[in-house]
Structure 1
Amino acid sequence: MKMSNVAGFWVRLGARLLDGLLIGMVVGTLVFLFQLDTSSQAVQTGESVVAALYFVLMPVFLYGYTVAKRVLNIRVVRKDGTNVGFGTMVVREVIGGFIYGITFGIALIVSAFMVGLREDKRSIHDLLAGTYVTYDRPEHWE
């Protein structure tokens, strides 16, 4: 199946930044309300866990959308156009993030170029998980 209406670099970057701001505001509010020490390992680990859960679970339950992706009308789908599942999102976000980390960000830079230059706009984490990002809406939303 041919991938359709693929989303490019800038809209994907914008969605990731907006989602990051949203997560930061939620965590920041909790830190403020509970007077937590932001330099503590527990707070930093908690923020990482919240972000990982957000990026894995939101697309599973919201047909490939996160909050920012919904605002920008893009979503993650499997290569065949079907909705992503939990395993797919774990590979995409957790394993992909691990690869970016162990390469000290070099693979992330390569991925940015891949999204900018490849015709299918797929990055390393998309190739690993068999996904792509599209402007197409879920079928039931028509």
Structure 2
Amino acid sequence: MFWPLVFPYLAWWLFVLARGQTPGKQLTGIFAVRRDASRFGWGRMFIRENFKLLFWTLTLGLGNFADSAAILLRKDRRSVTDLVTGSVLVYVPSN
């Protein structure tokens, strides 16, 4: 019953992962890039998102608060997920 909704979403999700974005990042113009500003590929972004999911799950949701606290307290505004995966989030406005 839900498969007609799931397949297009999964296809979109995989497409935007290849660009260094999740669907939410795509909507807000945010990209995950490496610290040297080179683009993340599909595999690297897949690892980043799955690490975040695993981290948040294993900490029973407290990983979300740890990520938020790191963003608020660090000068470079990088979350725990960013620190572990070597990523930086950048905003690229659309013209």
Q: TM-score, normalised by structure 2?
A: 0.72
State yes or no: 1:75 paired with 2:24: no
Give yes or no for contact 1:115–1:121 (8 Å, CA) kept in 2: yes
CA RMSD after TM alignment: 3.2
In 2: Cα distance, 1:58 partner to 1:100 partner: 22
Structure 1 length as normaliser, TM-score? 0.51
- Corresponding residue number in structure 1 for 2:2: 31
Identity across the alignment (%): 26
Structure 2 unaligned blocks of 5 or more? none
Aligned partners of 2:3 and 2:42: how far apart in 1?
Answer: 32
Aligned CA distance change for structure 1 residues 32 and 88 (closer, same or farther; 3 Å):
closer
Q: Which residue of 2 aligns with 1:59?
A: 17
Larger Rg: 1
Shift of 1:82: 0.4
Preserved contact between residue 59 and residue 76 of structure 1 (Cα < 8 Å): no
**Which of 82, 88, 96 lines up with 2:52 in the alignment?**
96
Task: Give distance in 1, aligned partners of 2:92 and 2:35.
Answer: 13
Following superposition, the deviation at residue 76 of structure 1 comes to 1.0
Q: Label 1:71 to 1:127 Cα distance change in 2 as closer, same or farther (>3 A).
A: same
Query: C-alpha displacement at 1:66, in angstroms?
Result: 4.0
Runs of 4+ displaced beyond 6 Å: none
Question: Paired residue for 1:121, among 71, 77, 83?
Answer: 77
- Number of residue pairs the alignment of both structures matches: 92
